[in-house]
Amino acid sequence: MKTLVIAVTTAAVLALAAPAPTRAEEQSPANAAPAGPGVRPYGPCALRTLTHDVSEGARTPRGFAPSNGRVRAVTFFIDFPDAPARISPRQRYSEFFPAVADYFRASSYGRLDYRSTPVTRWIRMSRPYRSYGITRGTTFDPARNDGYHAIAREILDAVDEDVDFRRYDLINVLATPNAGPPATRDVRSVTFAGAPTGLETDDGVDVQNVSFIWSRQTGDSPFRVLNHENAHSFGLPDLYYGGRVRAGHTPVGHWDPMDEDWGPSNDFMAWHKWKLGWLASRQVHCLARPGTRTVTLTPTSAPGGAKLAVVPLSRTRAITLEARAPGRLDHAVCRPGVVVSTIASDLSSGAGPVRTADATPGSRGCHRGDPNVAAGMTDAAYRPGQRLTTAGVTIEVLTRTPSGAYRVAVTRTRPPAHHA
């Protein structure tokens, strides 16, 4: 689930416009009104953005898709002469929708109203699958006659007369699942986000923020591969270490789908919810001054209450605290508590820009037996009575309230580096 960001230019809103989509086509709940305004990171706890690529920086560069309010996607379906579709476009679509839209609505507390319009026919590519040279890392190179540029060009040739690409923010391409290897052997889903790809529609609209989904993932919510890929178009980076998607050491584990989106469902971490504009100002504690502060954090799985405490260390580094507990989007949380992470906006996608502290280092974890989940990180949350000191900051989890919230004392001995 790699993202490739080429450059950044003024955002061009992409969309499919033919006849206006029906509510059934849009696959969005009827009660789609946002739950009040959210805010993006600002003030001393907002980390500096250093790149035009995806990152943990507070400012998402121009060219990426909006991540709150109403966001529209167009969804295409492709198959190949040597891999003809064995199911209908509606069946393939139902693997992802309305689940993707429902997930984003729940995770954003109603602040992201995701609408997808499917073009419900298989678009047959002109050549066999192998001739396009699709592997992990294949580019969108307009100078080549293969790769993603060739596939996207054929899609446009098939739909451009009927589609207005000015109204939508995202493009999803769902390939027939029998094209290429299974995802358990080679993960090839990819997003080209943030900048034009070098391909234009007949109306002169730059094609960007486009996700290609191959094969099928395993687990009880395999649709989340599209959540992961679309989140790249919203500006989020990969949290796993590049080249090691499913095995080896993991920096975050199942605490965020930008690291692990396999297996049971998992919610976005609170820092990402803030970056995407899903939290209100009152839901974020910015702890920039020296001294001790006690904050109360409610689990991300429950609407309402404070969700995030941020301790800035410098202009590009911060410590974050959030409460996690089992919930609608957090199926694998087996040790509720306070998750502590270090955020780095100066580390690139796939280089570990978020690293979660493990409250029980060396343990086998509490969610075992699922190869899709990094078991050792499943009991990483800190519980009442536990303390962590790092980078001159001491974090002590005090109590868990009857409602399930956590009271946490945070002591810092010095101001952030940029305030000193």
| Spatial separation of the C-alpha atoms in residues 342 and 322, rounded to whole Å | 12
Domains of the chain: 2-237 (3.40.390), 280-412 (no CATH)
What is the token pair recorded at 168? Answer: 């939508």
pLDDT in tens, 323-364: 999 999 999 999 999 999 999 999 999 999 999 999 999 999
Query: How long is the chain?
Result: 420
Amino acid at 411: T
Query: Where are any strands of DSSP class E within 61-151?
Result: 69-79, 112-124
pLDDT in tens, 16-37: 333 333 333 444 433 333 456 7
With a cut of 80, say whether residue 271 has pLDDT above it. Answer: yes
What is the token pair recorded at 201? Answer: 């529609």
- Angle at the Cα of 42 from the Cα atoms of 41 and 48, rounded to 5 degrees: 80
pLDDT number for residue 369: 87
Instruction: Determine which helix (DSSP H) or strand (DSSP E) holds 274, and give its type and residue range.
Output: helix 270-275
pLDDT number for residue 36: 66
DSSP 181-208: S-TTT----EEE-SS--S-B-TT-PBP-
| Spatial separation of the C-alpha atoms in residues 2 and 148, rounded to whole Å | 14
**Helical segments of 7-131, H only:** 23-26, 89-94, 99-107
pLDDT number for residue 263: 92
Among the listed residues 187, 179, 276, the one whose alpha carbon sits nearest the alpha carbon of residue 225: 187
CB atoms within 10 A of CB 183: 22
Residue with tokens 């002469």: 81
pLDDT, the chain, mean? 90
* pLDDT tier, 407 (very low <50, low <70, confident <90, very high otherwise): very high
SS3 200: strand
